[in-house]
């Protein structure tokens, strides 16, 4: 095993210096106000906002987690665990991007008091600022941290404890430049990361396929069972295809698949995949130049995120089944890192490690920026010191960065599987998604309903997993059902939102949907005719994007007939999307 050379180390150190320099260079752009630091003047073009989103969701954990899914959940079909979120993502593109842009907020939690009224709204905003900003953020950064620990262990021959210490140092460095750079500075680093990461992951895929043990795409098709290469689940066991020496893995269950495609995309809150378009997606939307750029940025993100990025990771993950059959279930993620170590030449090895450092740092910095915006804007400035000076805001911002970092470092040693934490977060948000969608389209949703939908899944996760002993997908279905019944019941037992607040929200955001009492109070009689064309845009865009995803896969595996079918499906979907987009002028340049 060749160790890293001086060139590899030089590339790594050089990148770290570039990142720190960018933080210092853009320090002044975010120092004038809290809006300047977190939103950066609302002047991003669609491509910069879109690339920034893509880079944020390409964390150091992502290729490792996909390797886990491919190994442990039945091959390529295991990716439906996250492929299902495309439907919710396209909802954001066509239904929510324009609404978030019109709302013109610093953080998505600010929407709570714009949309709701009373003590319930204030409590919900404060509670979610801590719950999301610290607790959920710590889990997300924690699992990203574990991915870096895995890389450090494999490449530098460190013990888990030593690797944790080094990852803590990397996080401190990330906090340093993140707390200096504004949103614009972070977007610049995102832009760099996107291209370096794509080039290096494709390069790794080509080197791994070229390995004699794999034998290219034809070798994968010969050495792996057909069920591992299918895009949809089967009831077969992956080991039944005779992968020599491979650890036994279970195919994706039909119940899990149905949970993914039928329920999860609309029912669950998940960082970056909120079906209502919140979190750092809303943050990027608010940074764009206008409504047209906001919609284009999210559409670009969905297509690139689901169609082009995952295939290099999936191919390496499949190859790892053949190359490293000795790895246990919780260690399957290491297959990706070991492939980096074993099959890349020196120089390229350092470049890919650098790409992972980029992915780690940019994701952590984005999470820190997002979480800190909650603690500063939605907790400190809203409830503790409403008249805080820019200097005080600056100190609280840096303190918030440190608090989130310490919380993330505290949970990191307890995370053994990225995949398991993904499922934990999904189940803790099961049932919340529908409220986040309907609050834009139904006047009757109130703060107590949303608060119920936030709290009940936390209780149900404990009950279903530790009292009843249920596992996913049964625990997920139970939580969604109980949460939905709970928030609907609470909504009808509590008072509606104050009419003046609803009128202010309606006038500012101009939502479609069921707003009859509000429209009547405002003497508005006309109804929007955009819902049906928007639905057709959504359905056609989801179909088109899945078509592109599968087309690329069929081309890789040389399944020409299936590729032709996908091409036809993509063409038809694109025509429907283009026609309906033009009909309602969704990409018109308007505010």
449 occurs within a structural domain: yes
Statement: residue 555 has pLDDT above 80: yes
pLDDT in tens, 334-361: 889 889 888 888 777 777 787 777 778 7
Statement: residue 236 has pLDDT above 90: no
pLDDT of residue 547: 96
Instruction: Work out how many domains the chain is built from and give that number.
Output: 3
pLDDT of residue 178: 61
Max CA distance (Å), the chain: 75
Confidence of residue 327 (pLDDT cuts 50, 70, 90): confident
Q: In what helix (H) or strand (E) does residue 163 lie, and over which residues does it extend?
A: helix 160-180
**Both 461 and 505 in a single domain?**
yes
Residue predicted with more confidence, 355 or 35: 355
pLDDT in tens, 450-499: 999 999 999 999 999 889 988 888 888 899 999 999 999 999 999 999 99
Residue keyed to tokens 């999470």: 367
CATH number at residue 54: 1.20.1730.10
383 occurs within a structural domain: yes
- The contacts of residue 450 (CB under 8 Å, 6+ apart) are 112, 116, 124, 432, 435, 436, 439, 487
pLDDT of residue 365: 77
Are 216 and 205 in contact by the 8 Å Cβ rule? The answer is no
**Both 141 and 207 in a single domain?**
yes
3 occurs within a structural domain: no
290 occurs within a structural domain: yes
**Most confident by average pLDDT, 84-93, 259-268, 329-338, 355-364:** 84-93
Average pLDDT of span 260-268: 83
What are the distances in angstroms from CA 269 to CA 259, 471, 486? 14, 19, 17
pLDDT of residue 360: 81
- The contacts of residue 295 (CB under 8 Å, 6+ apart) are 93, 94, 97, 98, 586, 587
pLDDT of residue 485: 97
**Both 56 and 194 in a single domain?**
yes
Distance CA 520, CA 501 (A): 15
Of 405, 428, 451, the position where a domain reaches its end is: 428
pLDDT in tens, 193-234: 777 778 888 999 999 999 999 999 999 999 998 888 888 876
Q: Above pLDDT 90, what percent of the chain?
A: 35
pLDDT in tens, 117-135: 999 999 999 999 999 889 8
pLDDT of residue 185: 64
201 occurs within a structural domain: yes
User: For 346-367, what is the HEC assignment?
Assistant: CCHHHHHHHHHHHHHHHHHHHH
135 phi and psi, to 5 degrees?
-65, -60
pLDDT of residue 186: 65
pLDDT of residue 454: 94
> How far from chain centre, in Å, is Cα 225?
31
pLDDT in tens, 370-407: 888 899 999 999 999 999 888 888 889 889 888 888 89
Of 525, 541, 563, the position where a domain reaches its end is: 525
Are 509 and 99 in contact by the 8 Å Cβ rule? The answer is yes
Q: Above pLDDT 70, what percent of the chain?
A: 87
Residue predicted with more confidence, 248 or 408: 408
Which residues constitute the domain of residue 450? 429-525
Half-sphere exposure of 248 (CA within 13 A, CB side): 3
**Both 512 and 589 in a single domain?**
no
Statement: residue 30 has pLDDT above 70: no
**Both 436 and 502 in a single domain?**
yes
What are the distances in angstroms from CA 344 to CA 148, 202, 349? 18, 12, 5
Statement: residue 307 has pLDDT above 70: yes
**Both 490 and 538 in a single domain?**
no
537 occurs within a structural domain: yes
16 occurs within a structural domain: no
Distance CA 292, CA 47 (A): 12
**Both 182 and 40 in a single domain?**
yes
pLDDT of residue 239: 40
Of 525, 552, 569, the position where a domain reaches its end is: 525
**Both 401 and 464 in a single domain?**
no
pLDDT of residue 166: 79
Q: In what helix (H) or strand (E) does residue 509 lie, and over which residues does it extend?
A: helix 499-509
**Both 362 and 439 in a single domain?**
no
Confidence of residue 272 (pLDDT cuts 50, 70, 90): low
**Both 317 and 393 in a single domain?**
yes
pLDDT of residue 90: 93
354 occurs within a structural domain: yes
pLDDT of residue 329: 73
**Both 354 and 379 in a single domain?**
yes
pLDDT of residue 147: 80
Statement: residue 40 has pLDDT above 60: no
Helix ranges, 58-96 (H): 61-72, 80-83, 85-91
pLDDT of residue 367: 81
pLDDT of residue 492: 96
Are 479 and 457 in contact by the 8 Å Cβ rule? The answer is yes
Q: What is the mean pLDDT of the chain?
A: 83
Confidence of residue 41 (pLDDT cuts 50, 70, 90): low
**Both 386 and 403 in a single domain?**
yes
pLDDT in tens, 515-542: 999 999 998 876 666 788 899 999 999 9
Statement: residue 33 has pLDDT above 70: no
What are the distances in angstroms from CA 193 to CA 346, 351, 357, 528? 20, 11, 9, 41
């Amino acid at each position: 095993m060749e160790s890293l050379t001086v060139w590899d180390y030089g590339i790594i150190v050089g990148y770290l210096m570039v990142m720190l320099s960018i933080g210092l260079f853009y320090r002044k752009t975010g120092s004038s106000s809290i809006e300047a630091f977190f939103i950066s003047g609302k002047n991003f073009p669609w491509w910069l906002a879109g690339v920034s989103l893509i880079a944020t969701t390409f964390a150091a954990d992502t290729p490792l987690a996909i390797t886990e899914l491919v190994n442990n959940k039945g091959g390529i079909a295991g990716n439906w665990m996250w492929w299902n979120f495309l439907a919710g993502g396209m909802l954001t593109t066509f239904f929510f991007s324009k609404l978030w842009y019109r709302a013109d907020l610093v953080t998505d939690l600010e929407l709570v008091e714009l949309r709701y009224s009373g003590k319930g709204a204030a409590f919900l905003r404060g509670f979610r600022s801590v719950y999301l900003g610290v607790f959920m953020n710590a889990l997300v950064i924690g699992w990203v941290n574990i991915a870096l620990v895995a890389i450090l262990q494999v490449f530098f021959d460190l013990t888990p404890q030593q690797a944790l210490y080094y990852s803590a140092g990397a996080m401190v460095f990330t906090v340093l430049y993140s707390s200096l750079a504004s949103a614009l500075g972070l977007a610049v680093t995102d832009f760099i990361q996107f291209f370096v990461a794509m080039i290096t992951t494709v390069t790794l895929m080509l080197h791994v396929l070229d390995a004699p043990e794999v034998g290219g795409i034809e070798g994968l098709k010969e050495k792996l069972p057909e069920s591992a290469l299918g895009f949809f689940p089967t009831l077969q066991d992956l080991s039944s295809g005779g992968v020599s020496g491979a650890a036994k893995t279970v195919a994706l269950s039909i119940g899990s698949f149905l949970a993914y495609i039928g329920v999860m995309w609309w029912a669950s809150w998940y960082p970056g995949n909120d079906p209502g378009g919140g979190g750092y997606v809303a943050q990027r939307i608010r940074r764009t130049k206008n409504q047209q750029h906001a919609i284009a940025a999210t559409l670009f993100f969905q297509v690139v995120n689901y169609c082009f990025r995952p295939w290099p990771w999936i191919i390496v993950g499949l190859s790892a089944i053949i190359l490293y059959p000795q790895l246990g279930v919780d260690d399957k993620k290491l297959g990706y890192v070991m492939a980096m170590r074993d099959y890349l030449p020196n120089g390229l090895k350092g470049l890919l490690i650098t790409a992972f450092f980029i992915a780690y740092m940019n994701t952590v910095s984005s999470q820190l920026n997002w979480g800190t915006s909650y603690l500063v804007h939605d907790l400190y400035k809203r409830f503790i010191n409403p008249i805080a000076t820019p200097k005080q805001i600056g100190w609280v911002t840096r303190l918030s960065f440190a608090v989130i970092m310490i919380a993330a470092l505290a949970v990191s040693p307890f995370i053994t599987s990225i995949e398991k934490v993904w499922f934990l977060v999904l189940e803790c948000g099961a049932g919340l998604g529908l409220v986040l969608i309907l609050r834009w389209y139904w006047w009757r949703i109130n703060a107590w309903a949303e608060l119920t939908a936030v709290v009940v899944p936390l209780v149900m996760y404990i009950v279903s997993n530790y009292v009843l002993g249920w596992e996913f997908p049964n625990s997920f279905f139970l939580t969604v059902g109980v949460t939905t019944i709970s928030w609907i019941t609470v909504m009808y037992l509590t008072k509606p939102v104050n009419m003046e607040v609803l009128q202010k929200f309606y006038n500012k955001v101009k939502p479609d949907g069921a707003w009859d009492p509000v429209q009547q109070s405002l003497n508005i009689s006309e109804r929007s005719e955009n819902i049906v064309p928007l639905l057709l845009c959504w359905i056609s865009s989801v179909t088109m994007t899945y078509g592109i995803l599968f087309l690329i896969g069929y081309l890789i595996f040389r399944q020409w007939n299936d590729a032709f079918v996908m091409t036809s499906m993509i063409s038809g979907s694109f025509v429907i999307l283009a026609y309906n987009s033009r009909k309602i002028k969704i990409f018109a340049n308007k505010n």
